[in-house]
Every structure is written in structure tokens, then in C-alpha cells.
Amino acid sequence: AAKKTYIVHMAKSEMPASFEDHTHWYDSSLKSVSESAEMLYTYTNVIHGFSTRLTAAEAQKIEKQPGILSVYEEVKYELH
Amino acid sequence: TTRTPSFLGLDQNAAVLPESDSVSEVIIGVLDTGVWPESKSFDDTGFGPIPSSWKGECETGTKFTASNCNKKLIGARYFTRGYEATLGPIDESKESRSARDEDGHGTHTASTAAGSVVPGANLFGYAVGTARGMATRARVAVYKVCWIGGCFSSDILAAVDKAIDDNVNVLSLSLGGSMSDYYRDSVAIGAFAAMEKGILVSCSAGNGGPSSYSLANVAPWITTVGAGTLDRDFPAYVSVGNGKNFSGVSLYRGNSLPAKMLPFVYAGNASNVTGGNLCMTGTLIPEMVSGKIVLCDRGVNPRVQKGSVVKAAGGAGMILTNTAANGEELVADAHLLPAIGMGQITGDAIKAYLLSDRNPTATIIFEGTKLGIEPSPVVAAFSSRGPNSITSEVLKPDMIAPGVNILAGWTGAVGPTALAEDDRRVEFNIISGTSMSCPHVSGLAALLKAAHPDWSPAAIRSALMTTAYTAYKNGKMLQDVATGKPSTPFDHGAGHVDPISALNPGLVYDLTVEDYLNFLCALNYTTLQINALAKRNFSCDSRKTYSVNDLNYPSFAVSFPADMGSTIGSGSSTGSSVVKHTRTLTNVGSPGMYKVSVSTMNSSVKILVEPETLSFSRANEKKSYTVTFSATSMPSNTNVFGRIEWSNGKNVVGSPVAISWT
């Protein structure tokens, strides 16, 4: 299935205590829906979350994971 | 920028501008196509040490090393992961995998915001003068997020993320996407986080004008900038066989046309495809255009490409005429062949001659640069227009600034038309768009930040908005080139920016992060949506009544239902509607009493301000007032405009009012 880029917003306050670092939690959430998916970026200031390549089914699946606020497909912007 | 500092009053009022030492503490981050670091606009002669607050980097990449940065260009990063994940690896034969700008747009915007002083700047002798950014002593950090295939939101978010870490003070984004709710819009999300850290985010309003509802970047924590013209033009004229002359504009410099009248043909009659009049690639029949002046209609493909198409088909010159979409707006281009751009009325007149004469002839005469054009500014036809399609209660754009025929720094990688076949190289280029007006405001915001380091982004924007002007010196209202009539707050927002007045606005409408969170509650955002946008657990208080009308914005947008059977807000009377807005002014000037004055263009609307006077006895004192808008029934899509001004006799704190029936 074709993969697209998604921006995954996480609720940092819901990070399980077992994780010391939020990036490990992000990674664990991602790996729970796709073994092969890798994070493009992890974001700190703008959102709590990351961007990654997923299939539509994987995107739907990760949206239902605990601690996930929202999953939005990447958008292309243009110069003005 | 060989004209805009003077047009904005910066040159004439240098004495009241903040000291260069304080401006040099301000860092402007520009998210764009990167930078051509060799441009003289980034010369760091005379610059002191880089601000100690700076945490950024000059990243090494293709054709770009840390040595390309200096005390002026202090940061250069590039963001490729989102782009490459979608479109594959960057083709390094076409663009560098680094912050190097091989497009020109990023160098233009960065140098407009904060370029160093460059005497003798020009494009082929046009617009000659001293080019400089609005904040010449501010530092520049570029974040390359736009590539040949576009600008991807994952990269934009990453760039804003880094810019916040790096400690920029102003962010300039001359880009936009399709309309979407704030919690889905990466620019709005990034701008919210930046605003929280005290960073002013200035964005282009978009080039979707003159259509209504065409704005981009409308979140209230963003400063949204539309475009106006300068008092400078590049006149040229067409002389046709019947002896008549028709005016237009051109930036052509090169081999002259023969000193005689040339055969003249309409592209639509020199093509055997539908839409041949548009001079699309490969649509002209060379035998029918060779050696002739060709008239092409504007639209669909880029203007400079039309010139290239005519040249490739053997045409001697091109007349490019506007259609209704552009009206009389004249945007000059550095075409590859002798060419002239003309307004719709003039174009129609030339077409009437062209299509009625059996042997039409024409030639084009170029006149160079002309200053002192009046009226100016006028709102550019392309500048996107309100109402705000996401939150109609927030009036956008916020203001207009120079965005037509702007000369600023350019890449050495492509010619001024950016066409592959354009092998000319220039240090400066003249281009147009809200992309060009946005960095003007970014640079001006940097000046205000230097003058008032403690002001919030909202206070800086308020100062720029409430001191913007809506009338020419002769008292006539600003015009819209798309209509030839007075422009409205949906076109120019609060008006044209006036930076000298903005330095001392008297009062400001300030906003905190909490105010914006309350605004999101008023929009009925869910806790999840607020968390996604504002990165925090914030629950709207179910016992509290939130109103978008209470956002302390420096402008007013009121929407009444066209069906007057219902009423809005508190208070109502039969056959009329009432909407109340509350605002709070903060004194940033001298103690004194301000008196309100209200003007509307239609007696069916009543605007009542209570109280009518506000007295401030100390700095940073806050005083609130209420505005009650009452209106009788009006047909759907009716708009009425007005203005609310507070004045102490010295400062005028103006707010535009837009009232709509929908």
C-alpha cells in the first residue's frame, strides 16, 4: 500500500511512566503499527509529536493508540 | 527596496529609528527557498558580535559551508526529510542539498526584511538606487523549506521548531496552503508556538485576489500582510499604426526593436489550438508570428513564459494584456524579448485596433523608471481579500505593505525570469507578490522589537495596525487597482503600514497566550484540538461564556444574519440585530485622555462605544471599552465599513470595522 507522510500529535502528559524519554514513547507508538516506519522528524516546540510515512491503514490504526491526539496527512504549501 | 525605505518614511526619519546596536540584537528567521550568501545584501561590514542569545547554526551542505555565514547572515539550515520522503531524493543537478537558494525567492525576501545597504543596485538599469532591507542592522537566519517541488508541512514544522530553539525574534513566511482549521494548519500551529515564545510571525496573505475569501494564514496570532503598490513605475508604451499610443510597463533591456512599425498579430489568430491567445508553450504557429509584435492575453501560464513562447516562435515583441481578473494592475517583468504589460482597458483598445485593421502594425517604446506615481499605494489586484473564511469575526488581512515591483537580492543560479532558457544573471531582481510585502513587515516588526524589546508580538502588530493609514495625503481613500474604486478593510485590513507612527502608537491592543486559548474555546474547539494546536491540556470552562468578539484584536469584523428574524449577542430590538465587542487598550505612551470617534459609511448601522473617553495616568495601564453594533435588515452579501479611532490629540489609534450580512 502506498505510504504518505503524516504528522502525529501526541499528548505528552499521557506518556506512560515506564518511558524516560518522550522520543522512546513516540517510537514505541510508531512501532506498534509499523515495524518499518521511521520518524522523519520529532518535534519539541511546535507540537509534541513526530512526522512519519504510513499507509492509510497504519494511520488509522495509530490514531486509536493511547496518547495520540490526532494524525494529519502532510500538506504542501506554496510560495506567494 | 531602492524605493520602499523612502516610501515608508524610514529614510526621512532615521533620527527616530532605534539605535543600530539595539536593532542588531534582533534576529529575523526567514522560511523560504534558502539564501544566496554571496549577495551584497548579506555583507556584514560594520556588524558587531553575533547576539549571545543566538543558538542557531550555519549548516554545511552542497555548495554551502559554515564560512558562507557571517555576522549578518548568522544562520542557515535546510529541511529535506518531508520533501524527500514524498518526492524522492533531491536532484542535485537541479538544486543544492543545502540552504543555498537556487530559486531567488528566499534571497529576495530575506534581503527585503533585513538586507544590508547596497548602493547602486538595479535591474538592467531599472529601479536604480541604494537597496536595503527594512531593518538593515538586524541579523538574518534562513530556514530552507521550499524546494522545486514545493514546501512540505513536515519540513515547515521542523524549521519553526528549530527557529524557536535558535532564538529568532521575528519569523517571516512568504508561503501558504489551502484553507484549513488552525489545528490542522502547520503554519498556524508553528506560529502559535512561536508566538508563545514572544516571536512575531509575519505571513503573506496570498495572491488569490481580487476574489473574496481568498486569504491564507488567517490565524489571529499571525500577522497577515497584503500587498500594495509603490509610487514607482516602469513605463513603456505601444504605438500602433493608426497613430495612437497606449501606456503599459516593462523591464525589458536588450536588443531594441527595429526603428519602424512592425506587423502586429493577435496570438489567438496565430494559433490553431483553443486558448491560443494565452501563448502557452508550443501553441503559436511560427510562420504567423515571425518578425511580428504578438498580443497575448494574461492568465494560466506565467507571464514571462508567454514572452519566451513568443520569442521561440520567432516573434519580435510581445504585448501582454490583462483580462478582467487583473484589471488595470501593471506588473512589470524582465522579459526575454521586447515586451510590455498593459491593463485591461488599454488592452481592449489595442485589440479593437488590431482586429479591425487589415494590416495592423505596432512598436514598443521603453521609458525606464518613473517615480512619484499617484495615487500610491493602491491595493494590488492579486492581493488576497477577506472575509476570513475560517473565523469571519477576525478581520484579515491585518495590513498591506509594498509588494508590487519590488527590487531586492537575487540568486546567482537563475536569471530574473527564472526560466531555464534565461541565461542572464543579476544581483537584484524586481518581482511582485504578497511574498514581497510580508518581509517588509517582518523587517519593520524587527525595528519595533528593537525599539520596544518588552512588547509582545500582539503589541507590535497592534502598533503596526492602529497607525496604518487608509487615506492619501489629499484625504481621498486608498484605492483598489482591481476596481479603480476605494478599497475596503477586506482588501487593505487596517490600511497601509506607517512604521514611523508605529514606533509610538500611544495605545496597543495586547494579547496573551491565554487570550488565544479563550478564543479557541469560543470557536468550540475540543480539548484534543486545543492540545494539538497549543501543546497543552487546556479545558474550556463550561461555566464561562466565551466569545470570539472578546478577542482583543485591533480590528472589528461583525457578521449579521441577512434574515433579520433572529438576533445575535446581547440585546435586541424588533427588525434589528445587535453585536457587542469588548476591547482593552494598554497605554504605551504618555499619560492622557483619549476620546473616541466613530465613522460608518451607511446609516443603517449604528456603532456605540462606551465609554467615549479613556484616561490613562501611567504606563502599561489598561482600560476597557465596549462597542455595540446595531443594524437594520440588509440583503445577503451586503458589506458596510467604518472606523473607530481613539485620539489624545497627538496619537490616533485606529481600528477598521467591517460589517457583513450573510
d(CA B223, CA B623): 24
d(CA B49, CA B434): 33
Name chain A contacts of B176, Cβ cutoff 8 Å: 77-78, 80
State the pLDDT at residue B567: 45
Q: What percent of chain B has pLDDT over 70?
A: 98
Q: Which residue among A44, A53, A74 places its CB closest to the CB of B153?
A: A74
pLDDT at B573 over 60: no
Q: Among B215-224, B376-385, B563-572, name the one with the lowest average pLDDT.
A: B563-572
Q: What is the pLDDT of residues A53-74, one digit of tens each?
A: 999 999 999 999 999 999 999 9
ipTM metric: 0.98
Query: A70 and B197: CB-CB below 8 Å?
Result: no
Mapped onto helix, strand or coil, the DSSP state of residue B308 is helix
Strands (E), B592-651: 592-600, 605-610, 613-616, 622-632, 639-647
Kindly calculate the radius of gyration of chain B based on its CA atoms and give it in whole angstroms: 25
Query: A46 and B193: CB-CB below 8 Å?
Result: yes
In sequence order, the 6+-apart residues with CB closer than 8 A to the CB of B569 are B549, B577, B578, B579, B580
Mean pLDDT to the nearest integer, B487-510: 98
Q: Among A18-32, B269-283, B402-416, B558-572, name the one with the lowest average pLDDT.
A: B558-572
d(CA B654, CA B463): 10
Query: B177 and A76: CB-CB below 8 Å?
Result: yes
The residues of B carrying an active-site annotation are: 32, 105, 435
Look up residue A15 and give its DSSP letter.
Answer: -
Query: B183 and A40: CB-CB below 8 Å?
Result: no
Q: Which residue among B156, B434, B528 places its CB closest to the CB of A77?
A: B156
Name chain A contacts of B83, Cβ cutoff 8 Å: none
Name chain A contacts of B205, Cβ cutoff 8 Å: 80
State the pLDDT at residue B20: 87
| Buried/exposed code over B434-446 (b: 16+ C-beta within 10 A; e: otherwise) | bbbbbbbbbbbbb
State the pLDDT at residue B563: 65
Sheet holding A39-43, edge to edge: A39-43, A49-54, A4-10, A68-73
State the pLDDT at residue B442: 98
Query: Which set of grid coordinates corresponds to residue A33?
Result: 503499527
State the pLDDT at residue B572: 39
Name chain B contacts of A68, Cβ cutoff 8 Å: none
The DSSP code sequence of B171-222 is: EEE-EE-S---GGG-HHHHHHHHHHHTT-EEEEE--S-TTSTT------TTS
Confidence at B633, pLDDT banded by 50, 70, 90: confident
Query: B176 and A77: CB-CB below 8 Å?
Result: yes
> How far, CA to CA in Å, does B312 sit from each of B284, B365, B639?
9, 22, 48
- The β-bridge relationship of strands B428-431 and B406-409 is antiparallel
Name chain A contacts of B185, Cβ cutoff 8 Å: 75
Nearest residue of B to residue A75 by CA position? Answer: B153
Residue in B346, B257, B252 with CA at minimum distance from that of residue B308? B252
Tell me the shortest Cα–Cα distance from A3 to chain B, in angstroms.
9
Confidence at B107, pLDDT banded by 50, 70, 90: very high
Confidence at A29, pLDDT banded by 50, 70, 90: very high
Name chain B contacts of A79, Cβ cutoff 8 Å: 32-33, 105, 146, 151, 174-175, 433, 435
pLDDT at B389 over 90: yes
State the pLDDT at residue B245: 97
Confidence at B458, pLDDT banded by 50, 70, 90: very high
Q: What is the pLDDT of residues B503-533, one digit of tens each?
A: 999 999 999 999 999 999 999 999 999 999 9
Q: Does A4 touch chain B (CB under 8 A)?
A: yes
Query: B146 and A80: CB-CB below 8 Å?
Result: no
Q: Which residue among A11, A40, A72 places its CB closest to the CB of B531?
A: A11
d(CA B388, CA A75): 20
Q: What is the pLDDT of residues B166-202, one digit of tens each?
A: 999 999 999 999 999 999 999 999 999 999 999 999 9
Nearest residue of A to residue B166 by CA position? Answer: A45
pLDDT at B208 over 60: yes
The DSSP code sequence of B217-243 is: ---TTSEEEEEE--SEE-EEEEEETTS
Mean pLDDT to the nearest integer, B343-358: 96
Q: Among B394-408, B511-525, B528-542, B553-567, name the one with the lowest average pLDDT.
A: B553-567
Query: B174 and A80: CB-CB below 8 Å?
Result: yes
Residues 25..64 of A with a Cβ closer than 8 Å to B: which? 40-41, 43-48, 51, 53
Q: Which residue among B185, B189, B207 places its CB closest to the CB of A80?
A: B207
d(CA B230, CA B632): 39
